A and B are shown apart, each in its own frame.
Chain A
Amino acid sequence: MAATMVSSAGALLAMLNESHPQLKQHALYNLNKFVDQFWPEISTSVPLIESLYEDEEFDRHQRQLAALVVSKVFCYLGDLNDSLSYALGAGSLLMSLRILIMFILFLMCLNFDHLRSVVDIFKFAGASLVCLTFLFLFLTSAKAIDEYASLKAKATESNAEAANVDPRLEAIVERMLDKCIMDGKHQQAMGIAIECRRLDKLEEAITRSDNVHGTLSYCINVSHAFVSRREYRCEVLHLLVNVYQKLPYPDYLSICQCLMFLDEPEGVASILEKLLRSENKDDVLLAFQIAFDLVENEHQAFLLNVRDRLSVPKSQSSEMVQPKSSDPDPAQNNSSTASEDVQMTEGTSASIAIVQETDPNDAIYAERLTKIKGILSGETSIQLTLQFLYSHNKSDLLILKTIKQSVEMRNSVCHSATIYANAIMHAGTTVDTFLRENLDWLSRATNWAKFSATAGLGVIHRGHLQQGRSLMRPYLPQGGSGGGGSPYSEGGALYALGLIHANHGKGIKQFLRDSLRSTNVERFIYDSAVAGEAAGISMGLLMVGSASEKASEMLTYAHETQHEKIIRGLALGIALTVYGREEEADTLIEQMTRDQDPILRYGGMYALALAYRGTANNKAIRQLLHFAVSDVSDDVRRTAVLALGFVLYSEPEQTPRIVSLLSESYNPHVRYGAALAVGISCAGTGLSEAISLLEPLTSDVVDFVRQGALIAMAMVMVQMNEAGDSRVGTFRRQLEKIILDKHEDTMSKMGAILASGILDAGGRNVTIRLLSKTKHDKVTAVVGLAVFSQFWYWYPLIYFISLSFSPTAFIGLNYDLKVPKFEFLSNAKPSLFEYPKPTTVPTTTSAVKLPTAVLSTSAKAKARAKKEAEQKANAEKAAGAESSSAATNTGKEKSSSEKDADSMQVDSQPEKKAGPEPSFEILTNPARVVPAQEKFIKFMEDSRYAPVKFVPSGFVLLRDLQPTEPEVLSLTDAPSSTVSPAGDSATGQQGSASAMAVDEEPQPPQPFEYTS
């Protein structure tokens, strides 16, 4: 029988009016039970219950009960303040609550900051969602926590004692925390503890959880995502590191990530050293893995510090001094191969030291040290990346050819845009076939176009550290003579060198400085302002994130100078110096955003963007939105919107929502900014909302908005193919149409050309990624993109986008840091993530050629096929006759032959249709793994190697499970180092094959059969 349910609280409310106290108690007790159901009814009787609470004669427990009921009702009524005050009156009764799951719900109502934590905890709560009925409980206690948290926060921010916190509040919060910990709701406990700044409780929650590692990593995520104050976040992380180190099996990977955030190279260095000195090879692999992970974050200064702090084996230190002292020499005579990288000489000297060393342990350590230094300097990863990009290059030269043919010669903007597109497409692949093939076309570049053409070589050869300088030598200023190329191409070459060595240019710095000194005379003659601008930017680049005092110096200078280019350069430079400093930068930002000069305000926007990069900080967003709609200067407004992209890149889903209104603004500058903001923050995600937002903008009425939208769209769609989102195909066709259209504006044409370059960037093997896999920001990438977004003022800055490219590859490495043969699974249809099909649509000129070529071969093939078919048919006929004659003997045989025929047919069908697509794919190390594919990656259990860390992409150290067997290495072919840089006419060997494919006669079609 179904349980009988009460339909009204009337009876209980009536009972409250009874004179006997026991009846009142009974009523209260039951009301408390049913308040979730009957709060509307009870709300009319609240005054009555309130009076019970205030009744001094009443039993204390009963009064608390009354307070609890009232508190709940108020909570339902949405009056949280009253609810809280009664909840406090309810005292210890609040204990029995199932608040914890609900905690966050409340935050959602009150505080938008915590939306993410809400979602997270809901995911965690899962089944507990039934408890929604207990909303009120949670609401009240959460309100208490919130109040407590804000009081605590205020107290800590003003460094005052938290004495003014209501002890009752404190008691509630503590009780709740204890309750969470006791119930095993550690994640909630941690959330509350972090929010309330109770680090003691946080530690308790972590140490008492069953899965300390899991809890810790959760905590790290939380602290990065939700703790908005940098100082406090550092405190939390400190605590976490401490906890980590107390564990019996510390998770060194995570510790090092924390330490990196805290900027404590000593800690990392000591951990690495400990691991390196270990007997166990696995520990060494782990050390390498840590080093790779650190490198991925591109925090150059930190890496250098770590490297310098790694202790050098005894007796080696004295010799290390030797090669260093000779450093300036090679820079001076930059003529010969002697100018190898400094690191190289260091490496060799280290190996010499090993030979001399007698202690075997130390020798092993020294050897490992060399390796890890190589990794930390970034060289190893750069080299491997280079190899990967070179060997997997799938760029489609036909696209470039189409572009080249459709672009008018006179139009220098499109001409250089094509060069940019080429450079971006081949970024890091070292394939410069296109340039070499079109030298005469290229030579039409003049002045700045020449500059960018030369600089483009730098993008293409990005990371080609050893060969960099020799490649560029013909373009570089010849020491002293000054008679070499034009100053433009010389400047471009220097720029190129900068790009090649970006962020790793220890050796090249000296050289650049020298040549700058020798050439700056010339450069100043041409355009001192440009040099000033460049100087400003480069000062910023040098001091990224240092927040040095130079910033204010730069600011003063910016006020003094008249030239807007210099001011702009300085403004951007200042913005770069505050990179990632969050609150620390507030004064400077304030100063800049209040300035009278719009260019400085514009710099202020960048400063905001970079200081709060990827934090999704509400204050920064609010400020930017404010400037986006209120500033008088279009430039500032555009930049403010654009800057939103930087602030929000850690939460790309948010951006389209936030800028959607701005993208409808009447002001084209704001629309342009909105497009780029989406492009920046959603870069490489292929986010559907982002695409929907950009789609209408690509056909905007204003040309530069179209340009921005096209570029942004390309950034969003990088590496997607049509199987992922059909709009990618549409977009490609749209680009082609714009490029071929004679009447299209130059601006949008340029946008389209650049977009097609970005879409296929780096030989279709790179994506734009601003966050490393550990969710830290990649300094170089962010800075690169920030400078890239300046191309509005100076096109060659487009090349900076190449800094934000990161290869989408899984590269497994063994102990020797070589790439062994290793296979793993991608558990998805291959077509979802395959390279986009190479374009086959011939241009109009070659279309004439094609049919003739096809005709002759195919005719033959046809004839041959026909003949064969006839023969076969004859044979079959004969066979059929035979069988029929045989069939007269026995019916059995006949039926069997029929069956045969049937099965034959069945067999032949799948051949025609080329079989259904497999649902998985086996990838071979090193493999292209696009971001969307990562979740499908599985490692095979019976494989020879096991990854040290289970990540689906990036550099992964592999543990060799069968160390005795010889290893098969893949990817040993370095990009041929024999390319003669001077050979202008000679075709680079390595690229010739792909180039040939384009120019060759079209392949005859596959043989096929007629079935008549």
Chain B
Amino acid sequence: MDPKLAEVSQLFERFKAACAREDVDTCCNVLSKLKVLLTGFSSLPPLFEDTPNAIHELTLARDIYEHAVLLSVKIGDQDAFERDFFQLKPYYTDASSRLPPSSQEYMILGLNLLRLLVQNRIAEFHTELELLSSTALENPCIKHAVELEQSFMEGAYNRVLSAKQTVPCKTYDYFMDLLAKTVRDEIAGCSEKAYGYLSVSDARQMLLFSSDNELLQYIKEEQPEWEIKTGQVIFQKAKESASCKEIPSLQLINQTLSYARELERIV
């Protein structure tokens, strides 16, 4: 076996062992080394050169990145998740024709969807969704994320929160917790638009807090512009955006062009 490949495999074993031990620091260190080593393989994206060990190397690299993604979930580092996921993605998309499918694929894709939902990046969520095949959409991991997004969009926030009980995989928990917060932010945003003010108890109910203290804490941390006066939460109504009329641009352009032409003809 290629010595470089052997080195990577060995290191990868160490990484897995560290993971099992839940030794996060070692994990991160080893992972970083692994990634650097991987840049030495020309068979990996973006070059995809056809080397003799290409399949093996690709599989191994995919494995490493899958673990990296899961590790980032474990340590709750969303940036790392994004980085690792993007580096993993070419293995699923571009190299799919050459590699046997990975058992983790749908789970990780689902995680990514969830992450986008949590970060409230709905547009990107849908972009990702469009890229999936119809069989992938049938997968419970993906389906879960899709349903969540639907509830989220409908405003059925209670359904979103109750969905935590039906997660297909325990790694999803991290994001489900985060989702609750996203939902709350969303509700807060809507209330701000919808109401001038709300009583503290209504607000608490609305924002799905169990106690007033939690509410106050939340307002202090997340919504500093809200005011609390005499048991009322007063929202600063967003300034009404100036209504803009549509400019008949095409018509104007046509007109101007014809003037110009006429003018040139006159002179």
Q: What is the interface of chain A, defined by CB distance below 8 A to chain B?
A: 1, 3-15, 17-20, 22-23, 26, 30, 33-34, 629-630, 661, 664-666
Contacts and interface: CB of A to CB of B under 8 A. Distances in A.
28 contacts: A3-B50, A4-B48, A4-B94, A6-B90, A6-B94, A7-B90, A7-B93, A7-B94, A10-B89, A11-B86, A12-B46, A13-B86, A14-B85, A14-B86, A14-B87, A15-B83, A15-B87, A17-B83, A19-B32, A20-B32, A20-B36, A23-B36, A26-B39, A30-B47, A629-B267, A665-B265, A666-B265, A666-B266
A630 B82 contact: no
Contacts of A8: 89-90, 93
Contacts of B154: none
Contacts, number: 70
Contacts of B265: 661, 664-666
B121 interface: no
B89 A34 contact: no
Contacts of B266: 665-666
Contacts of B36: 20, 22-23
A5 B48 contact: yes
B46 A11 contact: yes
A9 B47 CA distance: 12
Interface of B, helix, strand, loop or mixed by DSSP: helix
B86 A23 contact: no
Interface string B27-71: 000001001100100000111101000000000000000000000
Nearest to A629: B267
A136 to B, nearest CB: 18
Given A4-B94, A10-B86, A18-B83, A661 B46 contact: no
Interface of B: 32, 35-36, 39, 45-48, 50, 79, 82-87, 89-90, 93-95, 97-98, 264-267
Contacts of A665: 265-267
A9 B84 CA distance: 14
Contacts of A1: 50, 98
The 9 closest A-B pairs by CB, nearest first: A14-B86, A629-B267, A4-B48, A26-B39, A6-B46, A14-B83, A10-B86, A11-B87, A22-B36
A175 B178 CA distance: 56
A32 to B, nearest CB: 11
B264 to A, nearest CB: 6
Contacts of A18: 35, 83
A33 to B, nearest CB: 8
A5 B45 CA distance: 8
Contacts of B45: 6, 11
B48 A3 contact: yes
Contacts of B46: 6, 9, 11-12, 30, 33-34
A8 B46 CA distance: 9
A568 to B, nearest CB: 25
A1 B97 CA distance: 10
B59 to A, nearest CB: 14
Contacts of B82: 14
B86 A4 contact: no
Contact of A17 (B79, B89, B94): B79
Contacts of A12: 46
A22 B39 contact: yes
Contacts of B85: 14
B97 A4 contact: yes
Nearest to B93: A7
Contacts of A9: 46
A188 B264 CA distance: 39
B89 A11 contact: yes
A18 B48 CA distance: 21
A86 to B, nearest CB: 22
A317 B20 CA distance: 114
Nearest to A2: B97
A4 B50 CA distance: 9
A362 to B, nearest CB: 68
A33 B264 CA distance: 48
B260 to A, nearest CB: 11
Contacts of A33: 46
B48 A6 contact: yes
B52 to A, nearest CB: 14
Best-buried of A8, A665, A666 by chain B (most CB within 10 Å) = A8
A111 B206 CA distance: 64
A7 B90 CA distance: 8
Given A19-B32, A22-B36, 6 more contacts: A3-B50, A4-B97, A8-B89, A13-B86, A30-B46, A666-B266
Contacts of A26: 39
Nearest to A27: B39
Contact of A20 (B35, B79, B86, B95): B35
Given A17-B83, A18-B83, A23-B39, A11 B32 contact: no
A707 B68 CA distance: 85
